[in-house]
Amino acid sequence: MSLQAFPSPWLTDEHRMLHDSATRFFRERWVPLAAQWREAGQMPLATWREAGAQGLLCTSTPAEYGGAGGDFGHDAVVFMAATRAVLSGFGGGLHTSIVAPYLFHCGTEQQKRRWLPKMVAGELVGAIAMTEPGTGSDLQSVRTSATRDGDHYVINGAKTFITNGQNANLIIVVCKTDRSLGAKGTSLIVVETDTLGARDSTPGFRRGRRLDKVGLKSQDTSELFFDQVRVPAENLLGGREGQGFFQLMQQLPQERLQIACQAVAAMERALEETLAYVKERHAFGKPIWEFQNTRFKLAEVQATVLATRAFVDACMVAHLAGQLDAARAALAKAWVTEQEGKVMDECLQLFGGYGYMMEYPIAELYVNARVQRIYGGTNEIMKELASRSM
């Protein structure tokens, strides 16, 4: 479904051109390989450099750090195009719209010049290691520690559910530099895994298993382990201890808006797929589309999709103007992903037994949608955050 179909107020001609270019690249180059990547459980590391060469990474990063100098809208049209193409293994949205902004907004000048150009090129693949076994969405309960030892920090701990976990070689680790201070003792430290010029050459760093998930089968979501990992003190994001929790809170609204954008893109693709299916398939001697129940169900789905798109567009306008607060972003993430689940369920039902077959995009869209209500902060936590501003 083309973005031209929607009079979204935040979209410029430049955004649309980038979206169309990304859509064409994904369709022609990566979609034919998607089934192979699902079987492998991840996309090849080489795809990151390919995305960088196509100008599809870190488009909002300023030109002085190697980026295109765009805004979050440029990032959004790329990861929405990937979502519509059902390329769930591509963690470019996190790399571009979450990891890179942490470096740009929170990093020192030296850190920005050191890492951002390589992220733009796909030479560095970004990840952020927040969640730990047993802590879930509670970032204040982080147990991973970073102890200062001369010119280094020594990191110990374990992380799980890490997007890009197998491919990433630039990982922002949420850790405690002072346990006595609670949230105020949280810091973000950047771990480079290829410090000796070889893959995973950093002593003490280890990738665990690539996790076997319900959906997102080609996404290399993983466990990560840190055992006496020595990291130069200059890798402390921002150069000051105890800033981590503030840095996290500052960037989380954009992460939640990203999830909402991905949700509406998936919903639009699901509706498109379902309309095509019911108009070409027959049951009891006539097209499925001719059954009144089918038309009524899809009219309801269309209304949900259009309403959701309008809400996301309003949030995008606010965010691009610097006016999207944490409560509204949380509410958007929760409500939009819940609508996504409903839409996927209704659309898959209209495919009958074929909707349960992974060779049909609707099946993958359905299973991929479930995690949207969990990651980025569970929807229950999102509603709690939203309610505090009422």
- Domains parsed from the chain with CATH numbers: 3-124 (1.10.540.10), 127-242 (2.40.110.10), 246-387 (1.20.140.10)
Choosing from 132, 255, 273, 340, which is the catalytic residue?
255
Predicted confidence pLDDT, tens digits, the chain (390 residues): 444 455 789 999 999 999 999 999 999 999 999 999 999 999 999 999 999 999 999 999 999 999 999 999 999 999 999 999 999 999 999 999 999 999 999 999 999 999 999 999 999 999 999 999 977 666 778 899 999 999 999 999 999 999 999 999 999 999 999 988 888 899 999 999 998 777 888 999 999 999 999 999 999 999 999 999 999 999 999 999 999 999 988 888 899 999 999 999 999 999 999 999 999 988 888 889 889 999 999 999 999 999 999 999 999 999 999 999 999 999 999 999 999 999 999 999 999 999 999 999 999 999 999 999 999 889 999 999 999 988
Tell me, what's the pLDDT at 269? 97
Backbone angles phi, psi at 235, to 5 degrees: -90, 0
Its pTM stands at 0.93
What pLDDT is stored for residue 58 in this prediction? 96
User: Catalytic annotation on 359?
Assistant: no
- What's the confidence (pLDDT) of residue 252? 85
Nearest to 273 by CA among 363, 138, 163: 363
User: What pLDDT shows up at residue 149?
Assistant: 95
What is the CA 207 to chain-centroid distance, rounded? 20
Give residue for tokens 């999207």.
324
Q: Tell me the C-alpha to C-alpha distance, in Å, between residue 229 and each of 166, 191, 215, 232.
A: 18, 9, 32, 10
Task: Count other Cβ atoms within 10 Å, centred on residue 180.
Answer: 7
At a CB cut-off of 8 Å and minimum separation 6, what does 97 contact?
A: 60, 72, 75, 76, 79, 254, 255, 258
> Beta partners for 176?
145, 186
